[in-house]
Structure 1
Amino acid sequence: MPGEIDFLRELIAIPSVSGEETAVAVFIEETTRRWGLEVVRNANSVQIEVRGWGAGPTLAFASHLDVVPPGAGWTRDPFNPIIEGTRLYGRGSGDAKASVAAMLYAAKDLMDTGGIDAGRLLVILGYGEETKNTTMGAAVEAAGEIDAAVIGEPTGLDFAIAQRGLMMVDLVAQGDQRHAAYASGEDGFTNSVQVLSGDLLKLDNLFASRSHPVLGRAMATATMLEAGISRNITPPVARAVLDVRSTPDWSHEELAQELRTALTSDVIVTSRRLVPCETPSGSRLLATASLLRPAAAHFGSPTCSDWVFFRDFDAIKCGPGTSRRSHTADEYVDIPEVTAARGFYGQLARAYLWGH
């Protein structure tokens, strides 16, 4: 098997559920140091650097070391990676250890073939991306100046040129508590469940005034409901949790105001940090990547990632694997795709850094 595949199997075999990344981080630190790469491991990330001989731009390859818990439904040991045909099975095989392995081997290839003439390549591997405790923000701040970034997530090696943001909202509807036998609207009675239900029915038609050319409309989806004291008492409060997937056409403040204008329930924003991202117009990184992979599709990603911490840079999201297989039982990645990613990342680093 190619080196990146054997390395990926070793990464999968080290369980690294969010919050438990130390063992895999130490393994990467020790392995890349043996390769002769410059590596620093700290509380925020493992960072590998390949320096050019002269001044030039900085290109970052970024991904994460944590995985979600295996969950139920596996027919294989999630941390005993096995190969069946062209598939490599295991938790994190696609999301996102395939990107990690390909990026690290691309950095190794650069060093093994004489390094780079100018600029620098950074590989930044963060922790906790699958939770709200991601360390990538701190890692980026500590990395110094960055000109462009590739976010390693499963995209089938197509290019995500925009990414939805995420705003979490609590809808709280107020009503009257009384015996259900006397639940009548004749005396001004308000049923909180009916108020909330009416608001939820309005969600599909919200945010229609703006449509992003790649991502489409922003959308709000109810994901949790809570109401009720007893089966024969009308609830004084009914609550819903909304998952609002934003686009660059809206700020999160504008989306919250749109909800408040359209709905009767109280709108309480509980999280707004994951803002949407998009590749800037005229991106040199995207132009360079497209020359190397002219058949790659350009698309808008519905899922959030650490791209949010690179939103002010020229950036794309691209990696081996398929996003829909992330977090599933019997997760797998296609081996040829990982090998192709190794070659693509290396070619992209050379072309971008040498063509500045």
Structure 2
Amino acid sequence: MEQKLNNSPEILLNIAIELLKKIIATPSLSKDEYDVSLVIERFFSQRNIPTNRFKNNIWATNKYFDENKPSIVLNTHHDTVKPNKSYTLDPFIPLEKDGKLFGLGSNDAGASLVSMVQVFLNFYEYQNLSHNLIIALTAEEEISGKEGIEALFPQLPNVELVIVGEPTQMNLAIAEKGLLVIDGEMLGTASHAAHPNSDNAIVKCMADLQHILNYKFPKISPYLGEVKITLSVINAGTQHNVVPEKCSFTLDVRVTDEYSNKEVFEIIQSEMKSNLSARSFRLNSSKINENHPIVKAGLEIGRITYGSPTSSDQAIIPCTSVKIGPGDSTRSHTADEFIYINEINEGIGIYIKILEKIV
């Protein structure tokens, strides 16, 4: 490419940090992202970059967008979970200390957002790119909502690849587990606790659950391992002397790329005696070919590939995608969430190096 960087790495980092501080200071809980979307719009407007809005999703294209070229999308989310009760700091006051920036959403996924914004600015005026570059900063990721990237995606032109910004320590998550939530109910016969009851719903349910929690799916993914079933909710009974007529429960199932969500549900259903219902089949697992140019580009600059156990908007993106971003997933949703300043600096640099190889 003929052009040089529009700004030095130091300038890009400083702009990123200031933007992240504004985002942290603007509460953006899922479904309530309008104010933070205004912050993002204002940022681009101050740089004379036109943006598009769909609900609380903000997106823009590179200056020399060519409708005849395929597009690469830089996508991450600007919504956050609710701050948990263990916070010792104000989650909405950005605090820079000891090389860290504290605040709700700083790690998940504010650092990815501001890094991607700087990368987009860096490439914005390039004239001879092989691909268009689109930035899409979207809502409702934390709740897998339908008004985020899923709603916006049909409006994005000629999408060939989506780079999803989530905390991966700037390594490439080339596979990601899907999520299947199953509600179940075991029926029995209600009775007085003092009398014999061979149809106790709780006892029957315990046996059914123990069976499925010990079940091993035959297919094992090279990157994601086994399908994982976790019992996360169980409810039965209200009185010590009454055997209830039912026992209800919820299973959290993390699905690998070896199965579709429907296939896993059918297998679980065939193995259990309880009545089961899936909340949704939307959040399937994803995988990118190991020989894809972006994977090769990441490996060439020393990044590693892995399978991610956590879900993201990749689950509802209907095209090839890869997950990569600054930060550490283990910090997400924790009290006093933070990002290291140098992680953002590294993120900007690595994104640029990878894109230089593929656009």
Distance of 2:184 and 2:315 partners within structure 1:
26
Please name the residue that 2:213 is paired with: 204
Displacement of 1:339 after TM fit? 1.1
Q: Is the 8 A contact 1:45 1:125 kept in 2?
A: yes
Please name the residue that 1:299 is paired with: 306
Q: Is the 8 A contact 2:96 2:102 kept in 1?
A: yes
| One-letter code aligned to 2:245 | P
Q: Is the 8 A contact 2:173 2:308 kept in 1?
A: yes
Q: 1:102 aligns with which of 92, 115, 124?
A: 115
Q: 2:354 aligns with which of 345, 348, 351?
A: 348
Distance of 2:127 and 2:88 partners within structure 1:
43
TM-score by length of 1: 0.92
| One-letter code aligned to 1:337 | E
Deviations 1:141-195 (A, max 9, x none): 11022111110001111111111111111121111111111124xxxx3111011
Please name the residue that 1:67 is paired with: 80
Secondary structure of the corresponding residue to residue 185 of structure 2: strand
Please name the residue that 1:316 is paired with: 322
Distance of 1:5 and 1:220 partners within structure 2:
39
Q: For structure 2, which runs of at least 5 residues remain unmatched after alignment?
A: 1-12
Q: 2:90 aligns with which of 71, 77, 80?
A: 77
Displacement of 1:350 after TM fit? 3.0
Deviations 1:184-225 (A, max 9, x none): 4xxxx3111011101121233324311000100101111111
Secondary structure of the corresponding residue to residue 111 of structure 2: helix
Please name the residue that 1:277 is paired with: 286
Q: Is the 8 A contact 1:12 1:81 kept in 2?
A: yes
**Structure 1 residues 116 and 100, CA, compared in 2 at 3 Å: closer, same or farther?**
farther
| One-letter code aligned to 2:106 | S
Distance of 2:128 and 2:195 partners within structure 1:
78
Distance of 1:116 and 1:31 partners within structure 2:
25
Secondary structure of the corresponding residue to residue 242 of structure 1: strand
| One-letter code aligned to 2:23 | L
Q: 2:240 aligns with which of 231, 248, 257?
A: 231
| One-letter code aligned to 1:307 | Q
Secondary structure of the corresponding residue to residue 239 of structure 1: strand
Please name the residue that 1:253 is paired with: 262
Q: 1:149-164 alignment to 2 at 5 Å?
A: 149-164=162-177
| One-letter code aligned to 1:128 | E
Distance of 1:323 and 1:137 partners within structure 2:
23
Give the superposed CA RMSD. Answer: 1.7
Displacement of 1:257 after TM fit? 1.8
Displacement of 1:53 after TM fit? 6.8
Q: 1:176 aligns with which of 186, 189, 199?
A: 189
Displacement of 1:233 after TM fit? 1.1
Distance of 1:176 and 1:259 partners within structure 2:
24
**Structure 1 residues 53 and 25, CA, compared in 2 at 3 Å: closer, same or farther?**
closer
Determine whether 1:5 maps to 2:39. Answer: no
Please name the residue that 1:286 is paired with: 295
Secondary structure of the corresponding residue to residue 182 of structure 1: coil
Distance of 2:298 and 2:317 partners within structure 1:
17
Q: Is the 8 A contact 1:153 1:320 kept in 2?
A: yes
Please name the residue that 1:141 is paired with: 154
**Structure 1 residues 99 and 91, CA, compared in 2 at 3 Å: closer, same or farther?**
same
Q: Is the 8 A contact 1:246 1:275 kept in 2?
A: yes
Please name the residue that 1:36 is paired with: 48
Determine whether 1:50 maps to 2:62. Answer: yes
What is the total number of aligned residue pairs between the two structures?
345
Displacement of 1:243 after TM fit? 0.5
**Structure 1 residues 225 and 53, CA, compared in 2 at 3 Å: closer, same or farther?**
closer
Determine whether 1:327 maps to 2:333. Answer: yes
Distance of 1:137 and 1:53 partners within structure 2:
23
Displacement of 1:3 after TM fit? 1.8
Displacement of 1:46 after TM fit? 0.3
**Structure 1 residues 277 and 53, CA, compared in 2 at 3 Å: closer, same or farther?**
closer
**Structure 1 residues 46 and 251, CA, compared in 2 at 3 Å: closer, same or farther?**
same
Deviates more, 1:214-223 or 1:8-17: 8-17
Please name the residue that 1:14 is paired with: 26
Q: Is the 8 A contact 1:180 1:232 kept in 2?
A: yes
Distance of 2:254 and 2:70 partners within structure 1:
33
**Structure 1 residues 16 and 224, CA, compared in 2 at 3 Å: closer, same or farther?**
same
Secondary structure of the corresponding residue to residue 133 of structure 1: coil
When you count strand as a share of all residues, which structure comes out higher?
1
